[in-house]
Amino acid sequence: MASTMLSLASVSPSASLSTHETPKGKVKLGSSFLSLNKGRNNLFAKTESFGRISMVAAVNVSKFEGVTMAPPDPILGVSEAFKASTNQSKLNLGVGAYRTEELQPYVLDVVKKAENLMIERGENKEYLPIEGLAAFNKVTAELLFGADNPVIKQQKVATVQGLSGTGSLRLAAALIERYFPGAKVLISSPTWGNHKNIFNDSRVPWSEYRYYDPKTVGLDFEGMISDIKAAPEGSFVLLHGCAHNPTGIDPTPDQWEKIADVIQEKNHIPFFDVAYQGFASGSLDTDAASVRLFAARGLELLVAQSYSKNLGLYAERIGAINVVCTSSDTATRVKSQLKRIARPMYSNPPVHGARIVANVVGDPTLFGEWKAEMEMMAGRIKNVRQKLYDNLTAKDKSGKDWSFILKQIGMFSFTGLNKAQTENMTNKWHVYMTKDGRISLAGLSLAKCEYLSDAIIDSYHNVS
Ligand SMILES: Cc1ncc(COP(=O)(O)O)c(C=O)c1O
C-alpha cells in the first residue's frame, strides 16, 4: 500500500522535534500539516505519551483514504450472503448458474472429454493472437448464424474472441464509443444489471425501453415498440437473443418480426446479447432464430456470445463479439479496430475455454453429445418450473393465477415479488435471490419446489 511512514521510534524524548514541529502541535507531512495530540481516536497517528510531549510512533496515511466502500454486486453479493448463512434450508437462487438435482455445480461430460483431448495432444500455452483462437472464432460464428448462412459464406462477420459475454459486450461498447460518438444504446427495462455498468464505464449513453408489464407479468410489447420508434435514428438496440434476463419473457416469432421492422425503419443497429443459446429451448438453432432473422434481412448487427451457461464454462471466460457488416472488406476493418481496442485492455484472450469450445463444436461426435447434455440441463429446468407452478397452484388457495411462470423461458423466473417480499424470502425463508424478484430455477431442485412455493405464497400474501 502506498503510505507515508514517519517512524520516530528511535528518537529519544529529549531529541529536538523542530523539523516536524511547525506550526505548534502539527507535523508537516508532504505539503500538509497533520495534528498531533488529537487523542487515541486519530486513525492516522499513533501517539505515545512521554511526559509533556506526545511523540508520533508511526504515521500511516493512505493515498487512497478518499476511496469509498463500493456496494456489493446485486447478483454476486447474493452468493456471498448465501455462503455466510448456516441455515439448513437455505437456497441460492441468485446467480444464474446450473446446478444438478443435488444442487451441486456441474461440469459437462463433453467438457471433460475435450480437456482430455487437449492433454493427449500436449497443447502448449503460447499467447493467442489478439483476436483469439482462429478455430474458436470460426465455430462460434457458425454456431450462431448457421454454417450455411450467407453472412458466413461471404465473410461478412468480424469475430473476435472476448472475455466471455461480459468482456465481449465491453469490446462492443468501446467500439460504439469510438466510432459512433453520442449514439445511444437502448436497453430493456429491466435488464441484466451489468449492462448499465458496461455502458457507463465505456461512456456510452443509454436509455431504457419498456419491456416488462407488471400487470400481466408478461411483455409490454406496445411499450417496447413505441419506445424503439421514439429513439433517435441510428440508435443501438440491445436485445436478449433468447431467455431474457431477468424476466424469462421472450418475444414470439411474430413479435420479433415486428421489432425488426421498427429497427429497420428507424435505421437503428440491433445489438444482441446471446448468453443462453441452447439453454432456453434446449435447441441451439431455435435459440438463435432471433439473430438469424435480423441477419437474413441484410441488417448490420452486433452479437455478443457467452459459453458460461450452455457449456458451463463460467470461470473460463470464453465468448465472442461478432459484427455483421455489409461487406467482407468492412468486416476486416471492423475486426482490426476490435483488436486495437482489445490490445491495451487485456492484450490477448485466454486459450483454455477457446480450445474446449473449438473441440466440442468442431467435432461431430462431441457436438452431438453436447446437444444431448444441453437438452438434459434445459429439461431439468423445465421440470422444476412445472413443479413449482404445480405446487403454487395446489397450495395457494387465493385463486391467484401463477401461469405466468410457465410462459417464461430459460434459467430465470420473474416472480413479481417486490423488494420487501424478496427480503422476507431471504430473512424468513433463507431463499437467497435478487431484490428485483428474479429467481434462478437452475439453482432449484424438484425436492425443494414445495418449500419454495410455501416461501413465495407467504411472502406474496403476508408482506405488502
Ligand atoms: C444477459 C446476460 N448477458 C451476459 C452475461 C454474461 O455472462 P458471462 O460474462 O459470464 O459470459 C450474462 C450472465 O449472467 C447474462 O445474463
Name beta bridge partners: 199.
none
* Alpha-carbon span 72 to 70, nearest angstrom: 6
Q: Is 250 labeled as catalytic in the residue annotation?
A: no
pLDDT of 310-333, one tens digit each?
A: 999 999 999 999 999 999 999 999
CB of 166 within 6 A of ligand 1: the answer is yes
Active site residue 363: no
Strands (E), 307-363: 318-324
3.90.1150.10, 1.10.287.110, 3.40.1690.10, 3.40.250.10: which CATH number matches 76-107+373-462?
Answer: 3.90.1150.10
* Per-residue pLDDT tens over the stretch 388-408: 999 999 999 999 999 999 999
- What nine digits make up the cell of 150? 450467407
In this model, does residue 30 exceed pLDDT 70?
no
**Spans of all domains in the chain:** 3-62, 76-107+373-462, 109-368
- Residue 387 confidence (pLDDT): 97
DSSP codes, 384-430:
HHHHHHHHHHHH-TT----THHHH--SSEEE----HHHHHHHHHTT-
Is the minimum distance from the CB of 165 to ligand 1 under 6 angstroms? yes
**Could you identify the atom of ligand 1 that is nearest to the CA of residue 164?**
11
Out of 113, 156, 184, 192, pick the active-site residue.
192
Fold of the CATH domain 109-368: Aspartate Aminotransferase; domain 2 (3.40.640)
339: pLDDT strictly greater than 90: yes
Taking the centre of ligand 1 as the mean of its atom positions, its distance from the CA of residue 170, in whole angstroms, is 12
The residue whose CA has the least distance to atom 8 of ligand 1 is: 165
Q: Check pLDDT > 60 for residue 426.
A: yes
Cell of 179: 466510432
pLDDT confidence of residue 73: 82
Residue 199 predicted with pLDDT over 70: yes
**What percentage of the chain exceeds 90 in pLDDT?**
80
Could you say which DSSP state residue 72 is in? P
Distance 37 CA to ligand 1 centre (A): 53
Q: Is 240 in the pocket of ligand 1 (CB under 6 A)?
A: yes
Residue with CA closest to ligand 1 atom 15: 275
In short, whether 277's Cβ falls inside 6 Å of ligand 1 is no
Distance from Cα 285 to the centre of ligand 1, integer Å: 19
Nearest-CA residue for ligand 1 atom 11 is 165
C-alpha distances in Å from residue 251, one per residue of 23, 97, 235, 276, 408: 71, 23, 20, 15, 10
Q: Do domains 76-107+373-462 and 109-368 have the same CATH topology?
A: no
pTM of the model: 0.86
The whole-number pLDDT of residue 180 equals: 97
Q: Does the active-site annotation cover 309? A: yes
The response to whether residue 96 sits with its C-beta less than 6 Å from ligand 1 reads yes
Q: Which three cell numbers stand for residue 73?
A: 454486486
**What does the block give as the cell for 72?**
456489493
Pairwise CA distance, residues 181 & 265, whole Å: 22
